Amino acid sequence: MDRAALERHIKATPVEGSPADMRAAFLRLAHPSGVPDLPEVTAVGGCPGRWFGQGGRPILWLHGGGYVFGGSASHAAPARALADQTGRPVFVPDYPLGPDHPWPAQREAGQDVVRALGVCDVVGDSAGGHLALVLAPRMAGHVGRLAVLSPNTDRTGLSTTRRRNSGSDLMNDDAQDRVLGDMALSALPDDDPEASPLLADMTRMPPLFISTTTTEVLLDDALLLATRAARSGIAVTLDVQPDLFHMWHLWPDALPEARRTLAAVAGHLVAPARNCPT
């Protein structure tokens, strides 16, 4: 599948309806040729999920999907690609989803997984990037390196591209992002750092890799995060790709840009880790 065919698939597979409908649609969206064979579901820290690859120190991938859909099945392709590129196992947990499980269920499940893994490196995309940014400073002794792809960081209005890029992002728009966020985060005011990790104290963040694209809704979420982290003295690598769409990394088999992004994440994660437990 080339990019044109993938874009037709995205347009023909709207993620809408009930939460159950959205979960089924997003799984179809992530796998244009059908869901591949998947590893068996196992549990880490009481949270079900799937392992991809094997080898050394594990990588935790916190999946996106607005805290309403997504999981280890939808993120199989990028998780496998990252495992291949790093030579390390990647665990994707199926953490609790809203609206049945509102915040802080996601944070608590993530903390339990990190404790069980003793994991040193974390990847998060979209809402999973939000979760990773909340978890990393809380688990500072366990997270050596962090990579966030199209992270959701600001619900206060500082991010101007949420509206400006709503017409150019095939995978996201401001209205849908707000609806999904409210299903899990509605109990939090927008300026709470757990709702908008952009506002959190960045000084306990590990070395940070951020990837975004110029035409996605969450461009400013990433750019503002990079600025705040750098001003807090955190080592930051910012990767800005032109003319893509939110969560392009889901399709490494179709998009060379996705493969390059995951290779950049792998390069960040294989550098010597900081503050890893022994």
Reported confidence tier of residue 271, pLDDT bands at 50, 70, 90 = confident
With a CB cutoff of 8 Å and minimum separation 6, the contacts of 260 are none
Residue 252 has pLDDT above 50, yes or no: yes
What pLDDT, on the 0 to 100 scale, is given for residue 276?
A: 45
Residue 42: per-residue pLDDT: 98
Has residue 197 got a pLDDT over 80?
yes
**Three-state DSSP class for 47?**
strand
Distance CA 8, CA 243 (A): 16
pLDDT in tens, 91-127: 999 999 999 999 999 999 999 999 999 867 999 999 9
Angle at CA 69, nearest 5°, toward 140 and 219? 65
Higher pLDDT, 272 or 98: 98
Beta-bridge mates of residue 43 = 48
Q: How far apart, in whole angstroms, are the C-alpha atoms of residue 69 and residue 98?
A: 8
State the residue for tokens 């997270």: 143
- What pTM, to 2 d.p., does this model score? 0.97
Q: Burial-class residue 68 by CB neighbours within 10 Å (0-12, 13-18, 19+).
A: buried
Q: CA-CA distance, 151 to 93, in Å (whole number)?
A: 18
Domains of the chain in start order, with CATH, are 3-269 (3.40.50.1820)
Q: What is the DSSP string of 123-189?
A: EEETHHHHHHHHHHHHTTTT-SEEEEES-----SS--THHHHTTTT-TT--HHHHHHHHHHHHTTS-
- When pLDDT is cut at 50, 70 and 90, the band that residue 273 belongs to is low
pLDDT of residue 55: 87
For residue range 219-246, list pLDDT tens digits in order. Answer: 999 999 999 999 999 999 999 999 999 9
